[in-house]
A and B are shown apart, each in its own frame.
Chain A
Amino acid sequence: MSETILDVRGLQSEFRIGGKWYPAVRDFTLAVAANETVALVGESGSGKSVTALSILNLLPAVGARIARGSVRFGQQELVGLPERALARLRGDAIAMIFQEPMTSLNPTMTVGDQIAEVIQIHRGATRQAALAEALRLLEEVRIPAARRRLHDYPHQFSGGMRQRVMIAMALACRPKLLLADEPTTALDVTIQAQVLALLNELKASYGMSVLFITHNLGVVAQTADRVAVMYAGEIVECAPVDELFARPTHPYTEALLRAMPRVDRDSEALEPISGQVPAITRMPTGCAFAARCPLREPECDRHPELLALAADSDHYLRCRVRAREEAAA
Chain B
Amino acid sequence: MAILATLRRNKLSWLGIALIVLIVAVAVAAPLLAPYDPLKQNIIHRLEPPSAQFLLGTDTYGRDVLSRMIYGTRISLLVGFVAVVVAMCVGSAIGILAGYIGGLFDQIVIGVVDVMLAFPTLLLGLLIAAMLGASLENLIIAIAITEMAPFARVARAPTISLKEREFVTAGRALGFSPLRIMGVHILPNMASDVVVLGSLWMASAIRTEASLSFIGLGVQPPTATWGGMIREGFENILTAWWLAIFPSLAILVTVLALNILGDALRDAIDPKLRSENAA
Contact = CB atoms under 8 A, between A and B. Distances in A.
B190 to A, nearest CB: 10
A155 B2 CA distance: 15
Nearest to A172: B174
Interface string A77-120: 00000000001111110011111100111111100000001100
A56 B174 contact: no
**A-B residue pairs, 9 tightest by C-beta:** A91-B174, A91-B175, A90-B175, A108-B188, A96-B173, A104-B166, A103-B166, A87-B175, A104-B170
A269 interface: no
Interface residues of A, number: 32
Contact of A118 (B172, B174, B177, B271): B174
Nearest to B278: A156
B223 interface: no
Given A62-B102, A90-B174, A106-B167, 10 more contacts: A61-B102, A89-B175, A90-B173, A95-B174, A97-B170, A105-B167, A106-B171, A106-B188, A121-B176, A169-B174
A136 interface: no
Interface string B164-185: 0111011111111100100011
A55 B189 CA distance: 29
A30 interface: no
B239 interface: no
A58 B169 contact: yes
Q: How large is the interface on B (under 10, 10 to 19, 20 to 34, 35 or more residues)?
A: 20 to 34
Contacts of B169: 58, 98
B175 A166 contact: no
Contacts of B173: 56, 58, 90-91, 95-96, 98, 179
B104 to A, nearest CB: 10
A292 interface: no
A63 B275 CA distance: 38
Nearest to A154: B167
Interface in B128-169: 165-167, 169
Mostly, the B contact residues are: helix
A122 interface: yes
Interface of A: 56, 58, 61-62, 87-92, 95-100, 103-109, 117-118, 121-122, 155, 166, 169-170, 179
18 contacts: A58-B172, A58-B173, A92-B175, A96-B170, A96-B173, A98-B166, A104-B167, A106-B167, A106-B171, A106-B185, A107-B167, A107-B189, A108-B185, A118-B175, A121-B174, A121-B180, A169-B174, A179-B173
Contacts of A98: 166, 169-170, 173
B222 interface: no
Nearest to B192: A108
B103 interface: yes
B165 A103 contact: yes
B170 A87 contact: no
Nearest to B189: A108
Interface in B240-279: 271, 275
B189 A106 contact: yes
Contacts of B185: 106, 108-109
Nearest to B162: A106
A107 B175 contact: no
